[in-house]
Amino acid sequence: MSAEFSFTVHATDGQARVGAISISRGDIRTPAFMPLATAATIKAMHPQTVRALGYDVVVSNTYHLMLASGAERIAALGGLHKFMNWPHPILTDSGGFQVMSLARLRKLSERGVTFQSHIDGSRYELTPERSMEIQSLLGSDIQMQLDECVRLPCSHEEAERAMRLSLRWAERSKAAFGRQRGRAIFGIVQGGTEKGLRVFSAQGLVEMNFDGYAIGGLAVGEPQAAMLDMIDAVVPHLPSDKPCYLMGVGTPDDLLQAARRGVDMFDCVMPTRAGRHGLVFTRRGRLNLRNARFADDPRPVDPLSSSPVARDYSRAYWRHLTKSGEILAMMGLTEINLAYYQDLMSGARLAIKEGRLDAYIAEAQRNWAEGEAEGH
């Protein structure tokens, strides 16, 4: 482990565990959902509100920040924590996924990847060394290796090529990271939906002795069962005394199913993006507040939510704001979703401590199914 970085497991329930990552800027309670602050902001949210909801850590992105303000400028302004007024832990992704999904004219080589910005067409090169340099300039607490994320489905040969390249980039990323007091670096398991490749990747990364391990390249359109199969294949090959992070996941059920299998950390655009488009997550399932049937509905969105925004305003009001294109709709519904995700994870942590995670998941699934069947 890097200096001033540790992971402690406090209780287990089957493969699931509840614990804490300790790092210089604070503790991260696990299992943890991490909201996306992609471009140094959680869209439509004040950082103080995100903290008040109970979040310990947010996720920013190398690709977006290098294309926007630039890492050197943010460093000169005091670093990412000061820049966005979030003095708590920040994890930064390496940019590999965004290069695959957003960049134009991408050219891959052993050295790294060159591409054109999807914003203005400017040309960039991203290597493992440059990715780590950017993340260090930003001052992020947990940094991710540069990897290649392939689109699924893909051939075995393509998945193996990208996985082996990612392993070589992992070694270079770790060397470039060096030893940074109070910061950590995670390796990323790749291999598509091929169990053998995933195991090979995990074993290779463990030999490099990262501070934590992520499972990447999933949540890109494959069925949930395929994703869970990859988690089942990988987790037994990762050290139990280090955190496991499932990248880009996902739905409330995805989070619970992965936590059941020993995953400690999650991030996903889903709750914030959905909120900006009128979709909210509740204990009784999802509500599309653009639907006309809510126009005269006086009930709150979720009377049991930890957020007063979900309890104190009617569904009719939120539909009105959403249909009117009011900015408050994006802010309020995003807060409702982040509150729900935090409540879900807080409940999971308590259930693991009390040895009743299976019952907690079954109850959540039953409530979602009943609510959506009733059109709640």
Cα 362 to its chain centre, rounded Å, is: 24
Is there a catalytic annotation at residue 264? Answer: no
- The CA–CA distances, whole Å, from 313 to 214, 297, 309, 364, 373 equal 39, 11, 6, 24, 24
Q: Is the separation of the CB atoms in 179 and 191 below 8 Å?
A: no
- Interhelix angle for 327-353 vs 252-260, to 10°? 20
Residue 73 phi, psi dihedral angles, 5° rounding: -65, -45
Question: How far is Cα 196 from Cα 24, in angstroms, rounded to an integer?
Answer: 37
DSSP 211: S
Helix (H) or strand (E) holding 143: strand 142-144
Question: How far is Cα 3 from Cα 32, in angstroms, rounded to an integer?
Answer: 22
Cα 178 to its chain centre, rounded Å, is: 24
Please identify which residue in the block is written with the tokens 């982040």. 338
Of the residues 93, 254, 264, 302, only one is catalytic, namely 93
Of the residues 13, 267, 302, 343, only one is catalytic, namely 267
Is there a catalytic annotation at residue 93? Answer: yes
The maximal CA–CA distance of the chain, rounded, in angstroms, is: 60
DSSP 49-99: HHHHTT---EEEEHHHHHHTT-HHHHHHTT-HHHHHT--S-EEEE-SHHHH
Q: Is the separation of the CB atoms in 87 and 136 below 8 Å?
A: no
- Residues near 273 by beta carbon (within 8 Å), at least 6 away in sequence: 43
Active site residues: 93, 267
